[in-house]
């Protein structure tokens, strides 16, 4: 799950054609994901994996997915409201901003990128 999905959505405007997503440090608590399209790329932080349902471990060390920037942007646009609502709900309360309350998990499938609200 991207820490700042709005930044990922903004970056998609600069990518053309095939977009490759590659996860780094998949064993780390804080993996990052690099998006690459042609000569342009950007690396984005993700939330700690321990805060979300356990996903099947990839058989290969490097994991990459290929899609189009337009498809990724479309999926993020459909679910980014959940991040805005979560941040707004947490800002006035005593819970720290780094809390996992109200974060969202964006699992990638062939046709859908759903938002799932998580609670501790």
Alpha carbons 58 and 109: distance in angstroms, whole number: 15
pLDDT in tens, 4-56: 888 888 888 888 878 888 888 767 777 888 888 888 889 998 887 677 667 66
Contact in structure between 95 and 101 (CB atoms under 8 Å):
yes
Model's pTM, two decimal places? Answer: 0.46
Residue 75, CA distances (Å) to 35, 97, 99, 102 in order: 15, 25, 25, 19
pLDDT digits (tens, 9 = 90+) for 60-117: 666 667 778 788 778 877 776 665 544 444 444 433 343 344 444 444 444 554 444 4
Distance from chain centroid for Cα 16? 19
What is the crossing angle of helices 69-79 and 81-91, to 10°?
40
């Amino acid at each position: 799950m991207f820490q700042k999905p709005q930044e990922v959505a903004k970056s998609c405007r600069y990518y053309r054609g095939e977009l490759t997503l590659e996860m780094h440090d998949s064993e780390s608590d804080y993996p990052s994901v690099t998006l690459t399209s042609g000569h342009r790329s950007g690396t984005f932080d993700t939330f700690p994996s321990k805060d979300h349902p356990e996903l099947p471990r990839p058989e290969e060390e490097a994991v990459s997915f290929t899609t189009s920037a337009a498809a990724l942007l479309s999926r993020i646009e459909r679910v980014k409201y959940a991040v805005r609502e979560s941040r707004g709900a947490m800002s006035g309360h005593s819970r720290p901003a780094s809390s996992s309350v109200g974060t969202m998990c964006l699992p990638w499938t062939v046709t859908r990128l759903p938002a799932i609200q998580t609670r501790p």
